[in-house]
Structure 1
Amino acid sequence: MPNRTIFVTGASQGVGEAVARHFSVAGDSNIVLVARDSVRLNRVARELQDKGCETLAVQADLSNVEDCRRAVKEAETKFGSIDVICNCAGLTLRGDIFNTTVDTFDSLFAVNVRASFFVIQTALPGMIAAKRGGVVINISSMLSYGGPSFLLPYAATKAALNVITKNVANTVKFERIRVHAINLGWTDTPAEHETQTKVHGLPEDWATSEGKKQPFGRLLKADDPAKLCVFLASDNAAMMTGCVIDQEQWVAGTLS
């Protein structure tokens, strides 16, 4: 499926960057990269251009709804309608029922829920008008099942994102637009590395040591959800929609 336009938020590093790279390897030539960090974003864009992709880097603060809408409109201006949306941007701020501030709560919902909602809302009319179908993939979390006490508002955002996923999938099914979410397990990314070392005080090799404790012997890497995104957006997953997929080595709802 060449010449599709792939729209990726959080594309300057981590899962978003990996998603963009894997779609480019799969043969998708139009890649829209959206993130707040313009330096990292432009680096990824240049590297993909060097590999033959046509890229558009959109610096945007996704906590701002107008930036979400602008990013979609810039993509449509350059490439026409969007074929695949991957909402990978997210915050993982800490907070429990006792100490979560209003600012923390609002920041998490603004980026993790509202941004994805209005990106999808803005892009869907063009996707429907193009009559090519399409795919939306939201990066959610295993913590949507409840999560630890210190990640309450974060977990709540991912639960909300999963409800949006299923509702939108049902809404656009006859337009042949497929909508999925990935409940991502513990993943080694630059943002997670910063959190574990600076917030929780773990050593630099935390990912290796913690990975050895996992059933499959390692933490997830950004490439894992990226490969799943490429699959979900391919013809191999043509008869799937509304799926919330646990990409995790621990089984939800069971006890060790």
Structure 2
Amino acid sequence: MTQKTAIITGAAQGVGEAIAERLATEGVTRMLLIDRNGAAMTDLAARLKGRGVVADVLTLDLADIDGLMRDLPAALDGIGPVDILANTAGSTLRGGLADTTPEIFDLLFAINVRAPFFLMQLVAPKMREGGVMINVTSMLAYGGPPFLMTYSATKAALVAMTKSAANTLKRDRVRVLGINLGWTWTPGEQEIQTKVHGLPDNWRETVGASQPFGRLLMPEDPAALVAFLASKDACMMTGAIIDLDQFVAGTVDDNPGA
């Protein structure tokens, strides 16, 4: 992927950070990192520079549509043609049927649906032929626990949007794909599980041991899949939504208490 340019949202930590690191390993030489945590992105950009990557930083809260529509075009002009867009940023703010407020509803849809839509809209004209957009969705797009009802709805919307974008851009030879991500450990998930759900600090190990493959997914797992989907080995693939999980959607776990 030498001489290719990638845009990664949610790049400050977790899956987005892992994608940036993996794409650097694969040879990507130019990146635009987008997140609201500018300090963490600056640290990542410095590490990437040591690996020969020119990394620009755009500090932006993706819930701010005015800021997105104002600041992203200038950043795109600065990096030139684009080969890869990884829409990784998202909010897992809790909210079910009874307790989702209009403010929570709007915020979740702003970050998880509206932002990736307009990122694709703005980046599409800058894409080289053969470019790829990858949206990180969730296994909960099939439906989730009551306290994540609104989040699940945003990811279902993102799945539909991904397929529609793939259909829209196919004649431009730009591919659009989605990853339905299963339960993945990230620093953000660590904070949610300990502070919101009251799990102990070592929950990753204890819960992970009960999973079919003996661990939770780690950020490096979706990063590896993104690297494949962005490569020439997947060049005839578009519109696919890939379940990256150790459970099979629509089936019943035969050993739920293990």
So what's the TM-score if we normalise by structure 2? 0.96
Match of 1:79 in 2: 79
TM-aligned CA deviation for residue 64 of structure 1: 1.4
Q: Which amino acid aligns with 1:192?
A: E
Is 1:214 matched up with 2:211? yes
Q: Conserved in 1, the CA contact under 8 Å of 2:32 and 2:79?
A: no
Q: Which amino acid aligns with 1:215?
A: P
Q: Which amino acid aligns with 2:148?
A: L
Match of 1:117 in 2: 117
Alpha-carbon distance in structure 1 between the residues aligned to 2:66 and 2:82: 18
2:228 maps to which of 216, 231, 244 = 231
Q: Residues 74-223 of structure 1 correspond to what in structure 2 (within 5 A)? A: 74-127=74-127, 130=128, 132-223=129-220
Matched pairs, number: 253
Alpha-carbon distance in structure 2 between the residues aligned to 1:177 and 1:75: 21
Match of 2:237 in 1: 240
Is 1:250 matched up with 2:247? yes
Match of 2:27 in 1: 27
Alpha-carbon distance in structure 2 between the residues aligned to 1:185 and 1:149: 17
So what's the TM-score if we normalise by structure 1? 0.96
3-state SS in 2 of match to 1:187:
coil
Alpha-carbon distance in structure 1 between the residues aligned to 2:4 and 2:75: 12
3-state SS in 1 of match to 2:147:
coil
Which runs of 5 or more residues in structure 1 are unaligned?
none
Is 1:45 matched up with 2:42? no
TM-aligned CA deviation for residue 133 of structure 1: 2.6
TM-aligned CA deviation for residue 71 of structure 1: 4.8
Q: Which amino acid aligns with 2:195?
A: K
Q: Conserved in 2, the CA contact under 8 Å of 1:169 and 1:180?
A: yes
Alpha-carbon distance in structure 1 between the residues aligned to 2:51 and 2:74: 22
TM-aligned CA deviation for residue 70 of structure 1: 4.2
Q: Which amino acid aligns with 2:56?
A: L
Q: Deviations over 1:145-170 (max 9, x none)?
A: 01011000100000000000000001
Alpha-carbon distance in structure 2 between the residues aligned to 1:4 and 1:69: 24
TM-aligned CA deviation for residue 210 of structure 1: 0.4
TM-aligned CA deviation for residue 31 of structure 1: 1.0
The structure-2 alpha-carbon separation of the partners of 1:168 and 1:4, relative to structure 1 and needing over 3 Å to count, comes to same
Q: Deviations over 1:208-234 (max 9, x none)?
A: 100001000000000000010010000
Q: Which amino acid aligns with 1:59?
A: T
The structure-2 alpha-carbon separation of the partners of 1:12 and 1:225, relative to structure 1 and needing over 3 Å to count, comes to same
Alpha-carbon distance in structure 2 between the residues aligned to 1:74 and 1:242: 29
Alpha-carbon distance in structure 2 between the residues aligned to 1:86 and 1:174: 20
TM-aligned CA deviation for residue 50 of structure 1: 1.4
Q: Which amino acid aligns with 1:247?
A: L
3-state SS in 2 of match to 1:220:
coil
Q: Conserved in 2, the CA contact under 8 Å of 1:178 and 1:241?
A: yes
TM-aligned CA deviation for residue 253 of structure 1: 0.6
